Copies of this chain bind each other. A is one copy, B any other.
Amino acid sequence: MPIAFHVDAVAGKARTARLLTPHAEIETPVFMPVGTLASVKGVPQDTLEELGAQIILGNTYHLYLRPGVETVHRMGGLHGFMSWPRAILTDSGGFQVFSLSELRKINEDGVTFRSHLDGSSHLFSPESAMQAQIGLGADIIMAFDECTEYPADTARARASMEMTARWAARSLKYFEDHKHEVPWLTHGGTAALDCPPEQSSATLSETVPPPGKPNPAIPAQSLFGIIQGGMDRDLRKESAERTLEIGFPGYAIGGLSVGEPRELTREIVESTLEYLPTDKPRYLMGVGTPEEIVEYANLGVDMMDCVLPTRAARHGLLFTSEGKISIKQARYAQDKGPLDPNCPCRVCRRYSRAYLRHLYASNEVLAQVLNTIHNLSFYLDTMRRVRHSISLGEESRFLSSVWSGPKPGTP
């Protein structure tokens, strides 16, 4: 049984919906924190739950190299391995192969690359990327695609888009033939999944209770297709048509945020969305700032992910309702105020800017922990407000000072 997607409310092009995955029902539009190596850097899983993270993203390339798919599979898949009972999405590995690995060789078969860790040689093909993602056992997995570089001329963008379309068909075929190999239908996951951690936290046992019994109505992973086509609207249209023809339960827009101007990103997103069905989830990969995720949700995007809130936090860059703050600045050294007076997160409730500045300046690990918690809270709250606005039939706006969902002046 494929993924279920129910649109609940519409406001302009924006919509709120419920996306039913094996491990969780997700309210969209949703922002997905990035947990590259089965950890959202510095944040324990119970804190992610408290923050209201509904779904997190794992990176197939990284997990494939370390700890390896076989290990994760034996531990009950990513859910069991990292003890995360809610939903997980893994990317195809394609983007990281292009951005991180060395000595890539790309041909119709796939991509041969050397590990950035030890130089060992590997092949990612549509088939092996599916095998890896089935073994990792996320709720939503992604077709293997080629992320077209920017800039690229039309011939190059077309050739790349066409290969992505062929790889999409191969990805789907492998997935259909092997989707029963998902961890929770094979060894490792089955028994453990009877025992969600919330119910067993007081019990001490010989094995850690892995989390989350999958929803029996939706036992299978879902494979999403990815639209490419560079910055060319016609190629994007053709990519959408070809990917829809193959047929997936959800569609992603890839190949953006690769260095192009933001106005161009928006244009391509807006035009590509026109060709995607309204009854399927639409996932815009790798964006964005708080302002941008609101903007894209208003355009009709349902799912987004980005390293920005977590990576920026590690550099002391914090998003607040009053704008961005670089907490390392000396001006905050004796600032008793909370990071964001309008933020209800546990960091803003408890700690002063002066303390956060001290932790950062002193290179204390707690700086990364607290900064990341706040930035994620800000992103997740932003999406919560967006959903609330849409449910009231209003598009939401992001104002750089204090903002609320519905536009001022609306009923």
Is A121 an interface residue, CB under 8 A from the partner?
Answer: no
Partner of A365, one of B66, B75, B354, B369: B369
Contacts of A334 in B (CB 8 A): 71, 74-75
Q: Find out whether the CB atom of B42 lies under 8 angstroms from the CB atom of A208.
A: no
- Decide: A365 near B41, CB < 8 A? Known: A67-B358, A206-B337, A208-B351: yes
Is A38 an interface residue, CB under 8 A from the partner?
Answer: yes
Q: Find out whether the CB atom of B208 lies under 8 angstroms from the CB atom of A369.
A: no
- Decide: A341 near B204, CB < 8 A? Known: A82-B355, A354-B81, A368-B365: yes
Cα of A352 to Cα of B210 in the assembled complex, Å: 9
Give the residue name and chain of the B residue nearest to A197 (CB).
Answer: B350
Contacts of A399 in B (CB 8 A): none
User: Among residues 311 to 357 in chain A, which have CB atoms less than 8 Å away from a CB atom of chain B?
Assistant: 333-334, 336-338, 341-344, 346, 348-352, 354-355
Q: Find out whether the CB atom of B344 lies under 8 angstroms from the CB atom of A204.
A: yes
Is A366 an interface residue, CB under 8 A from the partner?
Answer: yes
Which 8 pairs, one residue from A and one from B, show the smallest C-beta to C-beta distance?
A42-B365, A207-B336, A208-B352, A39-B366, A67-B358, A39-B364, A83-B350, A208-B338
Contacts of A204 in B (CB 8 A): 338, 341-344, 348-349
Contacts of A82 in B (CB 8 A): 351, 355
Partner of A208, one of B44, B45, B336: B336
Cα of A327 to Cα of B44 in the assembled complex, Å: 18
Nearest CB on B from A116, distance (A): 13
Is A201 an interface residue, CB under 8 A from the partner?
Answer: yes
Is A205 an interface residue, CB under 8 A from the partner?
Answer: yes
User: Among residues 231 to 256 in chain A, which have CB atoms less than 8 Å away from a CB atom of chain B?
Assistant: none
